[in-house]
């Protein structure tokens, strides 16, 4: 896994959690398949909701995720993940409110996780993952985020 080693407490990123993170941050991972499998066997992608990008996951990538958190009043938390200081935690319910029910439902369906379990795992994993993706306190370009999931 490389980049994500030690990003999650306990160091264990399960396949459903990796699919969930990919769905939020990297559109190519929405099916839960690798990019190669997706190119060969994926059905036509479903229309994406307004404001989303097929390249940037359900929220338009890392920047879109951070914007959603800020819009929901969790800007200080999101900034702590990007910045070089201590990462603040986020409550699973607060994360769910920020992401919205449609996004949570979509990811839960793709991962096979219950929505509450999904939010619990994401709220635990996101601070470390975002921190690893922003080592210099800067949000990377979308292709850099995508390449982190392919390594």
Give the CATH number of the domain where residue 27 resides: 1.10.10.690
For residue 3, the number of C-alpha atoms closer than 13 Å in the C-beta half-sphere is: 16
User: Is 59:50 a contact under the CB 8 Å cutoff?
Assistant: no
Q: Count how many domains the chain has.
A: 1
Please give the residue range of the domain that contains residue 111.
2-150
The mean of the pLDDT values for the chain is 78
- DSSP annotation string for 93-129: HHHHHHH-HHHHHHHHHHHT--HHHHHHHHHHHHHHH
Per-residue tens of pLDDT for the chain, all 151 residues: 456 666 666 666 788 888 888 888 886 544 443 333 333 333 333 333 434 444 466 777 888 899 999 999 999 999 999 998 899 999 999 999 999 999 999 999 999 999 999 999 999 999 999 999 998 888 888 888 888 777 6
Rounded to 10°, the helix 101-111/92-99 angle is 110
């Amino acid at each position: 896994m490389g980049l994500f080693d030690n990003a999650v407490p306990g160091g264990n990123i399960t396949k459903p959690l990796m699919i969930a993170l990919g769905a939020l941050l990297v559109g190519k991972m929405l099916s839960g398949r690798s990019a190669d499998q997706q190119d060969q066997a994926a059905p036509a992608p479903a229309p994406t909701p307004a404001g989303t990008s097929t390249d940037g996951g359900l929220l338009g990538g890392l920047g879109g995720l951070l914007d959603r958190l800020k819009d929901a009043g969790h800007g200080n938390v999101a900034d702590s993940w990007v910045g070089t200081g201590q990462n603040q935690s986020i409550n699973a319910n607060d994360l769910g409110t920020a992401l919205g029910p449609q996004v949570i439902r979509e990811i839960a369906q793709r991962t096979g996780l219950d929505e509450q379990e999904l939010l619990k795992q994401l709220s635990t994993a996101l601070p470390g993952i975002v921190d690893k993706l922003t080592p210099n306190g800067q949000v990377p370009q979308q292709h850099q985020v995508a390449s982190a999931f392919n390594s």
